[in-house]
Structure 1
Amino acid sequence: MVPLNVLSPLPPCEPTSAERVDELLSRPGVRIERIVSSGQCSPPGYWYDQAEGEWIVLLSGAAGLRFEHEKHTRLLEPGDCLDIPAHYRHRVEWTAPGTPTVWLAVFYSSTNPWPD
């Protein structure tokens, strides 16, 4: 069931379980998800390489996000947002343990689904 409030209810904070992903909206060319992390990160050596763009905003918690071409991990705190173009390789280095890290992710097509 889609939550009516993106910050509640949140699933239990269990680092041994997978991230929780709730699809909030899906339309041609765009998909919006709420992602709840509780200490999860990308597997060693794994880089996301997505065919669609992704705009993210961190709503609560904290995370470290790294782009393949950058040497340092970016610290994300509540309110921070990023636009990640399609095929821009990135990984989640860490998310805050013991507290929910809530992401709002907007995935979008690299082509314009609307006529000019």
Structure 2
Amino acid sequence: MEILMALLVGVFFSVAVYLFLSRHIIRMLLGAAVLGNAVNLLIFTSGRLTPEAPPIIATGPAGTAEIMANPLPQALILTAIVISFSFFAFLLVLTYRAYQELETDDTDEMRFAEPRGQTLPPLEY
């Protein structure tokens, strides 16, 4: 099962890199979301994939650590999901505002686009 999850993490990372290399800012934004999911899946896989017992310590000899799932990666993933959602929302608003001002989502065109309603003074050398 860990091999399948490792392959899935590799696919997510490669898709994220492919999307980051795009010229369109929306694709870059989706690449950031996919990268966050890939990291969460990697952390989840590192915490052992066992269906044997929940991460609750029982009293007596049955409470050994070998058969329990590790609760730390699950807590880290829960925190990372909240942070990545807020980061994605911020980037989405920033992208929308840049699109409103520059009327393009192409990063090459954004370099030379002038904001709406404003004209820049000519450069003096």
Q: The TM-score by the shorter chain falls in which range?
A: under 0.3
Higher RCO (C-alpha under 8 Å, 6+ residues apart) = 1
The higher radius of gyration belongs to 2
> TM-score scaled to structure 1, two decimals?
0.22
Structure with greater strand percent: 1
Structure with greater helix percent: 2
